Structure 1
């Protein structure tokens, strides 16, 4: 469990500390990996949950729930403002 948490911290730090002049490319093997990619993309773009919620015209706490549950309850209509 500690190793998993440490890996998550390292991944987060690599996303927020990346060289912004270099494009970031994410690869996924299946659609089941898409929710994690959405979260990683937001972090890499240095967009807060609050800012993304404003852009999507949804409440910040709703976006937090979506991310906490890896978008399992989100529909395309609810996140496509």
Structure 2
């Protein structure tokens, strides 16, 4: 039973190392939303048909839409909230 728990913890650690947006128990709401928005923007940029759909819907060029989505990845949910140091 101890061996099973060790392998499960190892697999979770590997998952978090590979995919940073998977979250953890101490993740704040802001961090979770930021990861979700960045993942969505990256998915749109990575799928050309979805990028074309977005650019047509906004009436922008595909390159311009890709640039705007890349800029939105910097702070997708605005500046981070102040931290409480208690």
**TM over 0.5: same fold?**
no
Q: Answer 1 or 2: which has greater helix percent.
A: 2
Q: TM-score, normalised by structure 2?
A: 0.33
User: Whose Rg is larger?
Assistant: 2
Q: TM-score, normalised by structure 1?
A: 0.34
Bigger relative CO (Cα 8 Å, ≥ 6 apart): 2
